[in-house]
Amino acid sequence: MKSLMGCKEVSDMVFAYYNFVQLFNPSEARK
């Protein structure tokens, strides 16, 4: 199950992307 080994990396990328969107579009992050 190599896919599970990448879960943390994927979640980190999603978290970083969310923060990136929040910087440029705060109203979008409030949804």
For residue 3, the model assigns a pLDDT of: 58
Rg (CA), the chain: 12
Amino acid letter, 10: V
What is the structure's pLDDT at 22? Answer: 87
Segment 1-31, tens digit of pLDDT: 455 556 788 889 999 999 998 888 767 655 5
Global pTM value: 0.48
In this structure, are residues 9 and 17 in contact, taking their beta carbons and an 8 Å threshold? Answer: no
Tokens 């910087």 correspond to 23
